[in-house]
Amino acid sequence: MTLHAPYPAGRPRRLRRDGFSRNLVRENVLTAHDFIYPVFVHEQTGRAPVPSMPGVERVSIDELLRVGEEALELGVPVLDLFGVPDPTAKTADGAIAWDENGIIPRAIRALKARFPELGVMTDQALDPYTTHGQDGLIDDSGYILNDETIEALIKQSLAHAAAGVDILSPSDMMDGRIGAIRSALEANGFIHTRIMAYSAKYASAFYGPFRSAVGSAGNLGKGNKYTYQMDPANTDEALREVAMDIAEGADMVMVKPGMPYLDVVRRVKETFRVPTFAYQVSGEYAMLKAAAQNGWLDHDAVMMESLLAFRRAGADGVLTYFALDAARLLRAA
């Protein structure tokens, strides 16, 4: 560590005295290019609010195009799409997930046709599409089958790649799925399709509002995902998961949730020095929104401070429902 002059020769407050010097020595900054904006796309007409996530809406494909236009205008480079299928289309195997005319392939095609310069990212997991709300296929005891699920995820990934997706983001946490998906992409000529792996995805209680938004909460019921998502107590395990995904062909890795796991973000970035992202999940967003609505916190101040914390911890970018609001604030600054 660099030694500094003792007080009074050393006065750290000197550099904090004026705005220009605070700006001059600031170690981390936020830009709109640091954000990925998650969007829920449904089969209904127009927009529908998500009650547990104030300000977040499910949107139809025509409304999604308006969201894409706004993102480009604000400089947000990527939309991350999550499908909300018709509940009557759900099956035990989640087959609608890889239907080329399913909600997500249609949304990808619409966005890339209108805005080819906008990055489009999609989720690979079966929970929005299954009658049981789990991320994979299950056996008679309810256990999630690893290799059989991977075969389904390959089909889903290829359907999204064929529709023109830029980034696949497998969030299922099956062992070996990154290598299998990468091999399938290569074999089918999708050599430019990037993978941002949900490498350290924890079995967190912070996902509740998201599950309501995609319509899987009721299907999951009192079930849990402990047999495939990570134990919140573990960090060494996260490094093993990340190492495996990088070795299997992931271009980028992700830690999820975000703020409660900033220590994991830091360990991943310092250990691997690969593009590392964090997901500020629905529960984090909802907490800040609720506190602000009650007048307990300054909305814009805590929004920006929370996002800056990700960058300070080592994240190269943040998936956040605040993306458009934060980008507007940055533009006005």
Rounded CA gap, 142 and 101, in Å?
29
Rg, C-alpha atoms of the chain: 20
Catalytic-residue membership of 256: yes
> Helix 299-313 to helix 262-272 angle, to the nearest 10 degrees?
30
Q: Is the Cβ–Cβ distance between 102 and 158 less than 8 Å?
A: no
Q: Is the Cβ–Cβ distance between 253 and 197 less than 8 Å?
A: yes
CB count, 10 Å around CB of 17?
Answer: 10
Q: What b/e readout covers 236-257, taking b as 16+ CB neighbours within 10 angstroms?
A: eebbebbebbbebbbbbbbbbb
Catalytic residue among 90, 112, 225, 256: 256
Catalytic residue among 90, 201, 225, 269: 201
Nearest to 123 by CA among 221, 197, 30, 225: 197
Rounded CA gap, 278 and 319, in Å?
6
Give catalytic residues, as residue numbers.
201, 256
